[in-house]
A and B are shown apart, each in its own frame.
Chain A
Amino acid sequence: MAGAGGGAPLVRLEGVRKSFGAVTAVDGVSLEIARGEFFALLGPSGCGKTTLMRILAGFETPDAGAVILDGEDVSATPPHRRPVNMMFQSYALFPHLSVARNIGFGLVEQGLPRAAVAARVEELLRLAQLEGLGARKPDQLSGGQRQRVALARALARQPKLLLLDEPLAALDRRLRESTRQELIAVQRRLGAAFMMVTHDQEEAMATADRIAVMRAGRIEQIGAPAEIYERPATRFVAGFVGEINFIEARLVARQGEEARFETADGPLLARRAPEWAGAMSALTLALRPERVALAPPPDAANRREAVVIDATYLGGRSQVRLRLASGLELRALAPGGAELWRPAQAITVSLDPDGLTALAPETAR
């Protein structure tokens, strides 16, 4: 892995470990972030994602493992000497400095002449649509404006990697969506690598090129959003990223790509066979609610008789809870209102063979 060629990753974490007292916050994480990639660390609070980001920024030193940035081991480099900048969750804007001085803070530290700082600050104010607000103090800005100042300030030094700590958490719902699009646009324009930390799976799905799902200090799965959603590797990922049904099953036979399973409610066909599972091994199948068809055509695979438990209108569509003959409960998503589904109503459903994913057994921790 020599030089900064296009193929080499920008960031490589190798077996990074960090404990605080008895608590292991990051437990042997290895991952790579490519140049120009928008990467998201997703996980519940306390999963270690923030610690991992702080290790990248240099605020924490890993107990073990290495942080390689652009081919250089920066594990012990203090934050002020790293070509990495961070946008803080609270924005951490200096309350005693104007917007312009906030944005120019890092440029002054670089030793840039006054005129050059002023010119670059002007440019960034334009980029962040903050023209004319340079003289204001942070407390004279709206939440959205503060967010853009924080972004402009973090981008001022043209970092190789920009870290974003829950960048949208402090914004209200309406503003969040437009800001998300702006963030993506800025990232595409600059071509810098962004790494975002979030607990919001929807946010991660909508912005990132790749997502790493973390749990208890470890990475459960790394992949593109669709991959994480459609083919979760573990029960945790499946459950954390949206609603899902779990079906206990036993692998009966493998036919090329396809696999046959036996369940309490009869046989099931899945289009993708798990490579790791041997014949007759017990495992869990995962199926998204939208993959449960409520009015299947007669020739549909995996048909089942079910009874409606209840239905909840979600706006535009309804979530229907069903019970199969074995007593297994399933959730399904169906277009239209909840009044279409009456409790105790008997219906036929089909479980989409393309949507069935076999989950790896839980690894011992």
Chain B
Amino acid sequence: MSAPSDRSLARRLALAVPTLWMAALFLTPFALVAKVSLSTPALSQPPYAPVFALAEGAAAALDKFGELGVAAYRALLDDDLYLASYLGSLRLAAIATALTLLVAYPLALAIARAPRRRRAGLLMLAIAPFWTSFLIRVYAWIMLIKDEGLINHALMASGLVAEPLRIFATDAAVVIGVVYSYLPFMVMPLYAALEGQDAALREAAADLGAPPLRVFWRVTAPLSLPGVLAGSLLVFIPAVGEFVIPDLLGGSDTLMIGRTLWAEFFSNRDWPAAAAVAIVMLAMLAPMLVLYERLQMREAGR
């Protein structure tokens, strides 16, 4: 089965170089995160007392496992702030994901149903914002929804409201920010799932007596479920750990775990706590990550 080119030096290098790179710069750091999460905080530079140094080798590391500190993890349990942050993140990410799906579906459907020659352009238009600065896109919403922002300005000028609507610095603002920022990631897989559908299937359903709405519910929607799943994972997983959006748009009471991690790290300089927060977040997201990876692999296998 294997073609001669599989054995060529170039092919072997092509596999080895990126694998080693990713192992060194992506996999190793996670081991370090786990390790630091088991350390105790210190006020030195770096601000943690290492449990074992890299140089000590595996044997020494095994010895030390007996005396690993789980202090950082115990702190996660003891302090309500962490639990509230995790739950807040899950809740806001879930609401935002659902809303993103609601906004993205009609758009993806309309692009998929557009004349063939216009589809590529429309899709490009839908995902182009992803290329533009994330920060700027979030910033644009500050401009819009602040108490003295453009939306309130317009509403009050038109006399629709007397008091400015309080959207900025609320959980609602965070949800809006997530929906807006992550919309392209929902549109892409939805479009792929909808556009790939054989038009004959919809015609067959109509031919068998289904009016347009029934065709949608019985054929189009169920066949787009893989796209719904992929898009939801693409939005939900990063949204759970989002920092910029809750920090810029949320209120001081908006608890999200990415923000808590950031605070532990940059403000409290408690690296073990930040690492423990990251490890728990990773464990929480692991099932979804695995599901997402499976989807990607299956896609790639096709």
Direct contact between A and B judged by beta carbons closer than 8 A: yes
Question: Does A313 sit at the interface, judged by CB under 8 A?
Answer: no
B204 interfacial contact with A, CB 8 Å:
yes
Determine the chain B residues whose CB is within 8 A of the CB of A92 once the complex forms. Answer: 198, 200-201, 203-204
Q: Which of A77-85, A205-213, A259-267 is the contact stretch?
A: A77-85
Tell me which residues across on chain B come within 8 A of A105, comparing CB atoms. Answer: 205, 208, 210, 218
Per-position binary interface string of chain A over residues 46-65, scored 1 when its CB falls under 8 Å from any chain B CB and 0 otherwise: 00000000000111000000
Give chain A nearest CB distance to B113 CB in angstroms. 15
Q: Could you tell me the distance in whole angstroms from the C-beta of B212 to the nearest C-beta in chain A?
A: 8
* A95-113 residues at the B interface, CB under 8 angstroms: 95-96, 105-106, 109-110
Q: Any chain A CB within 8 A of the CB of B219?
A: yes
Once A92-B198, A94-B219, A96-B223 are accepted as A-B contacts, the answer to whether A157 and B208 lie under 8 Å apart by CB is yes
Residues of B within 8 A of A81 (CB): 209
Q: Measured between C-beta atoms, what is the minimum distance from B239 to chain A in Å?
A: 28
A154 CB contacts on chain B under 8 angstroms: 207-208
CB of B118 within 8 Å of the partner chain: no
- Which of B203, B222, B223 is within 8 Å of A59, CB to CB? B203
Q: Is A153 an interface residue (CB 8 A)?
A: yes
Whether A109 contacts B204 in the complex (CB less than 8 A), given A94-B219, A95-B223, comes out as no
Q: A312: CB under 8 A from chain B?
A: no
Task: Determine the interface band of chain A, counting residues with CB < 8 A from chain B.
Answer: 20 to 34
8 Å CB interface, A126-184 against B: 153-154, 156-157
Q: Which residue of B lies closest to A89 (CB)?
A: B200
- A residues within 8 A CB of B205? 94, 105
Does A86 contact B207, Cβ atoms closer than 8 Å?
yes
Interchain CB contact under 8 A, B223 and A79: no
**List of B residues within 8 angstroms of A45 by Cβ:** none
CB-CB < 8 A to B166: which residues of A?
Answer: none
**Is A236 at the interface (CB under 8 A from chain B)?**
no
Q: How far, in angstroms, from A80 to B214 measured CA to CA in the complex? A: 10
18 sampled A-B residue pairs with Cβ under 8 A: A58-B206, A79-B206, A80-B209, A81-B209, A88-B200, A88-B203, A92-B204, A94-B201, A94-B205, A95-B223, A105-B205, A105-B208, A105-B210, A106-B208, A106-B209, A154-B207, A154-B208, A157-B209
Q: Which A residues lie at the B interface, using CB under 8 A?
A: 57-59, 78-81, 84-86, 88, 90, 92, 94-96, 105-106, 109-110, 153-154, 156-157
